[in-house]
Amino acid sequence: MRRSLHIKLVLIMVLLIVSLMVVVGAFLMNSVTGYYIDEFYQQITDAFSQENVDFVRYLQTATEDEEDGAAMVSAVLSTYEGLLGVDRRNRNYFVLDGADHGRCLDGSAPIPEGGVPITTNISSALLGVPGLHSNVTADYMDAAIPITRGGHPYIVYILDSRETARNLNTEMFSLIMEALVLGLIISVLLSFLLSMTMVTPLQRLTDGIEEVARGDFSRKLEVTSGDEIGQLTASFNAMAQQLETTIAAVENERNKLDTLFLHMADGVVAFDREEWVIHSNPAAARLLGRTFTQEDRYGELFGDLYTFQQAEAAPAGGLAGSRTVDGRYLELLLAPFAREGQGGVLVLIHDVTEQRKAEQMRKDFVANVSHELRTPLTNIKSYAETLADGVGDLPSEMEKKFLGVILNESDRMTHILQDLLTLSRFDSGRSELRLTTFPFAKAVDDTYQAILMDAQNHSHTVKLRLPGHMPEVRADRERVMQVMMNIVSNAIKYTPDGGRIIISAGYIGDKVWMEVDDNGIGIPESDRDRIFERFYRVDKARSRQSGGTGLGLSIAQEIMNQHEGGLYLVDKEEPGLTIRMELPIQGPQKESGHEG
Ligand code: ADP
């Protein structure tokens, strides 16, 4: 770069000097010639003007006995040589015969052979008009003035070879040439100087720019002068600094976006204008159950929903689609993105499986509640109507029985509503535990004592197995008892009369546990996952008959969850069911209750 700029500088300088010299030289030389010519004619005109009356008179006045007029004219001219500028070398005078076609009669120089050539000025003088015209193209100047002496017409002819002007021009030309050489030397030196003051800082600037272009912003260029280059260097430093800050900010943004993309639950797949995959996140691969490469194209992935052109022309909110992959419901949103000619299509994948399930559960729940309440209500209504229709006609036992049914059904409804209320409290987080520390073994024993009668009514054998030592537990005693009662009464309910029920308890690590094992009807494999769902009952008729609502185990599990414990079915080979509850000895760690 340095060399080329230097050569350019030298060339410009040389060109400048040469063109300047050519213009000045041409102008000067032209001026000198012009001046010389003007001077000549002015001198001749002045010589023959009124100012030099004597000279003109001597020329024109012949003496009385004059024999050779031309010689006399020549003598006068010779005397007045200075006036006419005749030097007899470059400028001479000639006396021509005005009556004989300008024949040369005399002159200050030898008469050329064949006489003086007849020029335009001589022709003019032959007609009696002074010939004072300059011929630019000729290499001479002449003037022809007609005079009359002694009645004979003569022509005073002054001829200048322009040699003086030519010599002057030659002199000037060599002077200009010398100046040119000097100018060229100066220009080369000057361009070196310019190169030192301009090109070197520019070179440094270029190096700096190249480094910045390579991404290295650390180097600061030294500002060595206050001139334009210095300002440029300072501006460049400021620009590099700004660029560094901007790039850092952009990088930061991109990292943020990358992290977001990487960890977001929704899938994102981006396509460029040519429909190739340019970006995808792990969530997209997980949700669609496949990996993406840059070889994948829009058509084979989402072409079934919309064409690429449709997606590219999607309205502001994008185009919505849905798809089911491996039993999961996915909602897709296709939207274009564009920026300065680049762009493409972005596909967002949102997993709505849980939402759908929750929605379905909500619908089922409402349907279940309606159904559960309608049955006792229908019974109450029909018995009440029968009673109302037959007031006084029905036997009193019948009335008693009917009223008994009505009371039973209302109790059942109250029971259901109470259970629903309890669940609703759990759902809204309004149900707080009243935590106390109590002996766990005592609670198990109390449950055992409470159900003993009921079990005996069904001829069940109930065994209680408690270890010698059991720790105290921090929990809501009333709720824990509710869970225990629920699972033990289920064992009684769902075991045919004469069954065997074993209640055992113990502790392991920081947990206490209680298991209730029966040899009853058990739960079919397909229903095992669902018995903790609200209103779920394996055998609806049997459950209802025994006063069950299908909400007991849901509530029990909620209570255990709130205690950070658990309620599970234990796998077993023999018929019947084993259900186990676990509680942390220290009570729940998340503060969801208060000390009661
Ligand atoms: P319910 O009020 O109907 O007893 P639960 O929520 O307590 O409601 O129980 C849900 C369902 O789980 C019952 O309807 C029953 O089908 C089944 N179940 C619970 N415990 C047992 C058990 N010990 N043996 C067999 N089935 C049981």
What does each of the 596 residues of the chain score in pLDDT, given as a tens digit?
455 677 887 888 888 888 988 898 889 888 888 888 889 999 999 998 888 888 888 888 888 777 888 888 899 999 999 999 999 999 999 999 988 888 998 999 898 888 888 999 999 999 989 999 988 788 889 999 999 988 899 999 999 988 888 888 899 889 889 988 998 888 888 888 887 777 777 888 888 888 888 888 777 888 877 888 888 888 888 888 888 899 899 999 999 988 988 899 999 999 999 999 998 999 999 999 998 888 899 999 999 999 999 998 888 888 999 999 988 999 999 999 876 667 899 999 999 999 998 898 889 888 888 888 898 899 999 999 988 888 778 788 888 898 999 999 999 899 889 988 888 888 888 878 899 999 999 999 999 999 999 999 999 999 999 999 999 999 999 999 999 999 999 999 999 999 999 999 999 999 999 999 999 999 999 889 889 988 888 877 766 676 677 899 999 999 999 999 999 999 998 999 999 999 999 999 876 556 65
Check pocket membership of 416 for ligand 1, CB cut-off 6 A: no
Please tell me if the CB atom of residue 146 comes closer than 6 angstroms to any atom of ligand 1. Answer: no
489 lines ligand 1 (CB under 6 A): no
Check residue 249 and give its pLDDT: 92
Angle between helices 440-457 and 477-493 (to 10 degrees): 30
For the chain, the helix, strand and coil percentages under 3-state DSSP, each to the nearest 5: 50, 20, 30
| Closest C-alpha residue for ligand 1 atom 14 | 537
| DSSP label of 157 | E
- Expressed in angstroms and rounded, the spacing between residue 550 Cα and the centre of ligand 1 is 7
Which residue's CA is the nearest one to ligand 1's atom 18?
490
Supply the pLDDT for residue 3.
Answer: 59
CA distance 543 to 547: 6
Report the separation in Å between the CA atom of 490 and the middle of ligand 1, taken as the mean of its atom positions: 6
Q: Is 483 in the pocket of ligand 1 (CB under 6 A)?
A: no
**Is the CB of residue 539 below 6 angstroms from any atom belonging to ligand 1?**
yes
553 lines ligand 1 (CB under 6 A): yes
Q: Assess whether the C-beta atom of 488 lies below 6 angstroms from ligand 1.
A: no
> 489 CA distance to ligand 1 centroid (A)?
9
Residue 124: how many CA atoms within 13 Å on its side-chain side? 14
- Our answer on whether the CB atom of 501 is closer than 6 Å to any ligand 1 atom is no
What's residue 34's pLDDT? 86
Q: What is the pLDDT of residue 593?
A: 56
Atom of ligand 1 nearest to the CA of 520: 24
Ligand 1 test: best mutation among 514, 531, 560, 574, most atoms within 8 Å of CB?
531
* Ligand 1 proximity of 499 Cβ (cutoff 6 Å): no
Q: At what angle do helices 2-47 and 163-194 cross, to 10 degrees?
A: 160
162 within ligand 1 shell (Cβ under 6 A)? no
So what's the pLDDT on residue 349?
94
Whether ligand 1 lies within 6 angstroms of the CB of 543 is answered as yes
Q: Yes or no: say if 525 and 538 are a contact pair by the CB < 8 Å rule.
A: no
Name the DSSP class of 419: H
Number of C-beta neighbours around residue 496 at 10 A: 12
Q: Given the structure tokens 């004592």, which residue do they identify? A: 449
The beta-strand segments (E) located in 277-416 are 277-280, 319-325, 328-339, 342-351
Best probe residue, ligand 1, of 543, 559, 574 (max atoms within 8 Å of C-beta)? 543
- Which residues on neighbouring strands pair with residue 89, listed in sequence order? none
Distance between Cα 268 and ligand 1 center (Å)? 45
* Ligand 1 centre distance from Cα of residue 227 (Å): 94
Residue with tokens 């009333």: 478
* CA dist list (Å): 293 to 258, 265, 269, 298: 17, 20, 11, 12
Q: Cα-Cα-Cα-Cα dihedral of 311, 312, 318, 320, to 10°?
A: 0
Reading the block at residue 294, the tokens are 């840059």
pLDDT of 453: 94
Residue labelled with tokens 């909620």: 558
Which of 525, 537, 539 has most ligand 1 atoms within 8 Å of its beta carbon, as the pocket-test mutant?
A: 537
